[in-house]
């Protein structure tokens, strides 16, 4: 096969990246203070939008905010301490950038995989693979 034939074959097998990153938006966190805790009311809806495991998002938020947290029976996240909505929103944006959005095409159509002990995002729209956090 010639170079042009290989190139044509590769282009045919490459999935089309349809849509745009604008179809994805991080929901605004609905938070309230309850004693010495901050309750993230719409945590489950946010996790559903990300398409990630609740414990994965919770661990990231714990690290970003420097606190402990747990998920209650209603799917709300209870963070120890008082946090402003803007601080949680910034942490959610950082999560989306690190674990959800494809760094190549910007679409949210990614899945997390572990390959040779390295956690990676695999984009279902463009086929790109990239280590998380880069």
Tens of pLDDT along 50-99? 999 999 999 999 999 999 999 999 999 999 999 999 999 999 999 999 99
Residue 17 forms part of a structural domain: no
Handedness of CA 25, 19, 11, 122 (dihedral sign): positive
Residue 45: which region, alpha, beta or left (left: phi > 0; alpha: psi -120 to 50)?
Answer: alpha
Question: Residue 16: what pLDDT?
Answer: 56
**Predicted pLDDT at 31:** 94
pLDDT of residue 59: 96
Answer whether residue 130 is part of any domain: yes
* pLDDT of 134 strictly over 90: no
93 and 31, same structural domain?
Answer: yes
Q: Do 90 and 34 fall into the same domain? A: yes
Q: What's the whole-number average pLDDT of the chain?
A: 87
What's the average model confidence in pLDDT over 90-112? 91
In the chain, the number of structural domains is 2
Q: 108 exposed, middle or buried (CB, 10 Å; 0-12, 13-18, 19+)? A: buried
* Residue 96 and residue 69 share a domain: yes
For residues 130 and 82, state if they share a domain. Answer: no
pLDDT(11) > 70 = yes
Contact criterion met (CB below 8 Å) for 72 and 78: yes
Mean pLDDT throughout 41-50?
Answer: 93
Q: Is there a domain that residue 7 lies in?
A: no
Shared domain check, 124 and 83: no
Residues 33 and 59 in one domain: yes
pLDDT value for 7: 76
In a domain, 117, yes or no: yes
Are residues 57 and 122 part of one domain? no
Helix, strand, coil percent content, the chain, rounded in steps of 5: 35, 20, 40
Residue 20 has pLDDT above 90, yes or no: no
Same domain flag for 33 and 61: yes
Q: Which residue has the higher pLDDT, 3 or 54?
A: 54
Do 131 and 67 belong to one domain? Answer: no
DSSP state of 81: S
Domain containing 115 equals: 104-134
Give a yes or no: residue 77 inside a domain.
Answer: yes
């Amino acid at each position: 096969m010639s170079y042009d034939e290989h190139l044509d074959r590769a282009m045919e097998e490459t999935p089309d990246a349809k849509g745009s990153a604008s179809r994805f938006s991080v929901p605004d966190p609905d938070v309230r203070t309850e004693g010495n805790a901050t309750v993230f009311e719409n945590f489950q809806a946010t996790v559903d939008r990300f398409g990630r495991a609740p414990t994965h998002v919770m661990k990231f938020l714990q690290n970003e905010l420097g606190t402990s947290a747990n998920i209650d029976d209603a799917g709300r996240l209870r963070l120890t301490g008082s946090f402003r909505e803007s601080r949680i929103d910034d942490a959610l944006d950082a999560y989306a950038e690190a674990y959800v959005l494809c760094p190549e095409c910007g679409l949210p159509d990614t899945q997390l995989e572990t390959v040779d002990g390295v956690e990676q995002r695999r984009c279902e729209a463009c086929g790109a693979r990239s280590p998380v956090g880069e």
